[in-house]
């Protein structure tokens, strides 16, 4: 399974090495599952014991899939942007290394803190703020893995939709009500940018450089890297970004104590490379494994990109959105 790497600076594309509602009474079952017949009561998504079990189940499935390079072994535990990246990475590795991952090192998630937001109806979700044995760059800095678990109904499994990898000091303090975290609505007007608008704003920013984003690795530096790639002699590179915010790709956010929010959202982009006549763009083995069509002088990679951002309260004048983490992976490629 391809290991997960955080894009701290625009260098190599971040990879995931994966071995990488609603009808009129709420009934809480003994297992903590909720049957929804109305959407008035605010309920926690799970108990801490149930949340811990979800983390254990995810970790076990992740490790089985990583060891065998078999996407079927964790397909029921991942979804949304993380799931699409994970499954594409495993498919590629299963083709290139059919014997499995001989260098498998089990993922370990420890020191877990649960952030449990109360809400009505489905989907329900929570964040597991964990320490992992997969720190980026050799683990020289303390990092936290924030895994967003999502469940769309009482009969469904908990699945991880988002993963943000943040420095320990970048994890904010979350607001609480009655001892539980506070989710933010998709159209929350109390934020400088509502979660529903983040994908559109990011796509626009990557195109023209204008928008609410603070300078940094995943904004100004990422645009600079793209501009540099577009100017290489004999190789033209174009980028087309798209919002992707439906279903398990929907943005999810938590209120922070300063009145802002920590929000997870996803985008999709296409990277088209065209060479001069007589040459072909180079692709690595993992991309080649996902390739359809024949590369003559053009290849178009499809990427899923998952962002974790801090959004300031409404009324803030500048740099209202800070991208603290970005995880991306190739999920398809077409040659022509």
Q: With 70 as the cut, is the pLDDT of residue 32 above it?
A: no
CA angle 333, 206, 11 (to 5 degrees): 65
Distance CA 211, CA 179 (A): 35
Q: With 90 as the cut, is the pLDDT of residue 4 above it?
A: no
- Indicate the pLDDT class of residue 39, thresholds 50, 70 and 90: low
pLDDT at position 136 is 63
301 near 284, Cβ under 8 Å?
Answer: no
pLDDT at position 55 is 98
Domain boundaries, the chain: 26-335
User: Average pLDDT, stretch 322-336?
Assistant: 98
126 near 114, Cβ under 8 Å?
Answer: yes
- Indicate the pLDDT class of residue 264, thresholds 50, 70 and 90: very high
Mean pLDDT for the chain overall = 89
Q: With 70 as the cut, is the pLDDT of residue 7 above it?
A: no
pLDDT at position 273 is 97
Q: With 70 as the cut, is the pLDDT of residue 1 above it?
A: no
Q: Which residue has the higher pLDDT, 109 or 32?
A: 109
Distance CA 217, CA 154 (A): 39
pLDDT at position 77 is 98
Q: With 90 as the cut, is the pLDDT of residue 69 above it?
A: yes
Of 3-12, 22-31, 34-43, 247-256, the least confident: 22-31
1 near 318, Cβ under 8 Å?
Answer: no
101 near 1, Cβ under 8 Å?
Answer: yes
pLDDT at position 5 is 40
Provide the 10 A C-beta neighbour count for residue 206.
21
pLDDT at position 73 is 98
pLDDT at position 115 is 98
287 near 330, Cβ under 8 Å?
Answer: yes
Pairing of the two strands 176-177 and 159-167: unpaired
104 near 17, Cβ under 8 Å?
Answer: no
pLDDT digits (tens, 9 = 90+) for 71-107: 999 999 999 999 999 999 999 999 999 999 999 999 9
pLDDT digits (tens, 9 = 90+) for 281-324: 999 999 999 999 999 999 999 999 999 999 999 999 899 999 99
* Token output for 273: 């490379």
Provide the 10 A C-beta neighbour count for residue 273.
21
Length of the chain, in residues = 336
Distance CA 200, CA 206 (A): 10
Q: What are the start-end ranges of the H helices in 32-77? A: 48-68
* Token output for 79: 């979804």
User: Average pLDDT, stretch 179-206?
Assistant: 98
pLDDT at position 305 is 98
Distance CA 17, CA 4 (A): 5
User: Which among 210, 195, 208 has a CA at the least distance from the CA of 266?
Assistant: 195
pLDDT at position 40 is 73
Please spell the DSSP secondary structure of 84-102, one letter per residue.
HHHHHHHHHHHHH-TT--T
CA dihedral 81, 83, 89, 90 (to 10 degrees): 180
């Amino acid at each position: 399974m391809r290991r997960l790497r955080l894009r701290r600076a625009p260098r190599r594309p971040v990879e995931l090495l994966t071995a990488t509602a609603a009808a009129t009474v709420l009934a809480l079952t003994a297992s903590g599952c909720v049957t929804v017949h109305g959407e008035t009561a605010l309920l926690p998504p799970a108990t801490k014991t149930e949340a811990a079990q979800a983390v254990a189940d995810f970790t076990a499935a992740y490790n089985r899939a990583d060891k065998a390079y078999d996407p079927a072994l964790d397909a029921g535990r991942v979804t949304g942007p993380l799931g699409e990246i994970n499954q594409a990475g495993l498919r590629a590795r299963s083709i290139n290394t059919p014997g499995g991952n001989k260098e498998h090192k089990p993922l370990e998630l420890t020191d877990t803190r649960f952030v449990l937001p109360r809400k009505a109806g489905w989907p329900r979700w929570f964040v597991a703020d964990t320490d992992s044995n997969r720190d980026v760059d050799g683990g020289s800095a303390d990092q936290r893995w924030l895994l967003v678990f999502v469940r769309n109904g009482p009969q469904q499994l908990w699945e991880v939709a988002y993963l943000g990898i943040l420095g320990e000091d970048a994890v904010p303090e979350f607001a609480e009500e009655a001892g539980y975290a506070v989710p933010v609505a998709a159209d929350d007007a109390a934020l400088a940018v509502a979660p529903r608008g983040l994908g559109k704003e990011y796509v626009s920013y990557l195109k023209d450089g204008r928008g609410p984003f603070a300078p940094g690795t995943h904004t100004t530096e990422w645009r600079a890297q793209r501009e540099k790639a577009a100017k290489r002699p004999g190789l033209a590179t174009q980028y087309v970004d798209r919002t992707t915010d439906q279903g398990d790709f929907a943005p999810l956010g938590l209120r922070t104590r300063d009145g802002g929010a920590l929000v997870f959202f996803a985008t999709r982009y296409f990277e088209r490379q065209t060479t001069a006549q007589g040459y072909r763009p180079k692709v690595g083995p993992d991309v080649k494994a996902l390739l359809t069509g024949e590369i003559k002088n053009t290849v178009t990679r499809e990427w899923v990109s998952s962002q974790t951002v801090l959004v300031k309260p409404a009324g803030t004048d500048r740099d209202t959105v800070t991208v603290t983490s970005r995880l991306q992976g190739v999920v398809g490629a077409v040659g022509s």
